[in-house]
Amino acid sequence: MAQISLNEIFQGYVGRRGVFKNKETLSIAFTPDNIPHREEQIKQLGMILAPVLRKEKPSNVFIYGKTGTGKSLCASHTIKKLSDQTNGKLKTIYINCKMRRVSDTEYRLLSQLISFFGVEVPYTGLPTDSLYKKFFNLLDQGEGNTLLVLDEIDALVKKVGDGILYNLTRINQELKKTKLTIVGISNNISFINDMDPRVRSSLSEEEAVFPPYNASELRDILTERSQLAFNPGTVSSGVIEKCSALAAQEHGDARKALDLLRVAGEVAERMGNEKVLKEHVDLAEKKLDTDKTLEITKTQPRQSQCVLLSILELFRKGTKNTQTGDIYDVYIQICRRNNLKVLTQRRVSDLISELDMFGIVNSKVISKGRYGRTREIKLNLSGEMITRIENFLKEEFI
């Protein structure tokens, strides 16, 4: 039985022409040749970095803009073009500072930098400044310019402070043959104010701002990409407009727009449609939403999951106007059942606030007069999400 139906599925797959021609072109990792609506920024970056062609040191650049505004894309595009001009002689080090366990401490970042020169360094044990020396020596062995791209640089500063940036910006004073230029990329603008003024000024000798895309700009981007990604005529009208509009509502995030389009295509294929329809976009949005919330709950610490389960149990019982105390009572029971340490109500209250921040619940402070002042907590999830999260939590807890 199972085999027959599987065969049918496979047959359906092979027999039909899928909607995708090249799905890769919709992923964030893909670098298109043409980047619409970023001509200004690319030109600006090009002008800032152009001195490398004359073997002079360009200014350090600080790039900021919200997620999905094309910062990393434009930076890597510009640098690649620049590198082509120099016949690949331009050395570029790209580091994403948000990668956990890779580059989230001073030591790890330095060992990353060193490994770019093909030298491996022990995971731990060496003093930090000997790593600096090593990096310095490796750097100075080469000629000309080295570009250091620090993506999500705000994460680095938040984690380890600005000392490392201070050291890196000063390194040029010592270097003889090479020059190091830092390209910092951040989606948080305010963090730069917390930095040491010296670091701030040397890091942002030049600044490039990436504004959010509006709906029509997003539409252009999607139109271009969809021609690469989909077979001709498989995207019905209105689909791209819908994806653009949804993503524009969320601070003009091109990544979200591309995700929506890609998942809509996947949904269409799975449902056996030969065309991507507007309804598929709705389903895609739901799926992305659910996946995201599920991912959040999965990565949440156990205590927080326990609190969420308490809220879910109360919801299933149909309790109206859930308040902190109710949740705490259920929470205690779940902890006992699961042999978990019972935290104080004060702490649980904070955990509820965290769930609120994630958008999983909505809580608002209300006063019930004689019957006290508390927070009214409501689940902020669709029915399908509740079931999926519940299924996950039921596996984790008794």
Partner DNA sequence: CCTCCACAGGAAGCGCAGGAGT
Partner DNA sequence: ACTCCTGCGCTTCCTGTGGAGG
- Pick one of 173, 237, 371, 395: the residue that binds DNA (CB under 7 A): 371
Three-class secondary structure of residue 180 per DSSP: strand
Whole-number Å distance between alpha carbons of 1 and 360: 41
CA atoms of 110 and 121, how far apart (whole Å):
9
From the CB of 355, what's the least distance to DNA, in Å?
12
Task: Find the shortest distance in angstroms from Cβ 310 to DNA.
Answer: 13
Task: State the nearest-atom distance from the C-beta of 364 to DNA, in Å.
Answer: 9
Say if CB 91 and CB 145 are below 8 A apart. Answer: yes
Determine the Cα–Cα distance for residues 310 and 312; give it in Å rounded to an integer: 5
77 alpha-carbon distance from chain centroid? 19
Subset of residues 116 to 155 that bind DNA, contact rule: CB under 7 A: 127-128
Q: What single DSSP character describes residue 57?
A: P
State whether residue 20 is helix, strand or coil. strand
- Among 167, 303, 319, 380, which residue sits at the site for DNA (rule: CB under 7 A)? 303
- Reported as type and span, the H/E element at residue 373 is strand 373-379
Q: How far apart are CA 261 and CA 343, in angstroms?
A: 44
Ranges within 154-173 binding DNA (CB under 7 A): 160
| Selected binder of DNA within 368, 382, 384, 387 (CB under 7 A) | 368
- Contact residue for DNA among 100, 176, 320, 370 (CB under 7 A): 370
Task: Read off the tokens for 285.
Answer: 């949005």
User: What is the nearest approach in angstroms of DNA to the Cβ of residue 161?
Assistant: 7
Q: Is 375 in the site for DNA (CB under 7 A)?
A: yes
Residue 393 interacting with DNA (CB under 7 A) = no
326 binds DNA (CB under 7 A): yes
**Measured from the CB atom, is 55 or 170 closer to DNA?**
170
- Provide the strand spans (E) within 40-191: 61-65, 91-96, 144-151, 178-186
* 335 lies in the site for DNA, by CB under 7 A: no
Query: Is 379 a residue that touches DNA (CB under 7 A)?
Result: no
Would you count residue 54 as binding DNA (CB under 7 A)?
Answer: no
Closer CB to DNA, residue 199 or residue 258? 199
State the amino acid at position 52 in one-letter form: V
**CA-based R_g, the chain, Å:** 26
Pairing outcome for strands 373-379 and 178-186: unpaired
For residue 347, state whether it binds DNA (rule: CB under 7 A). Answer: yes
324 touches DNA by CB under 7 A = yes
Which among 27-35, 210-218, 283-291, 366-374 is the span making contact with DNA, rule CB under 7 A? 366-374
**Least Å from the CB of residue 365 to DNA:** 5
- 209 with 223: CB under 8 angstroms? no
Residues that bind DNA (CB under 7 A): 105-107, 127-128, 160, 301, 303, 323-326, 341-347, 349-353, 365, 367-375
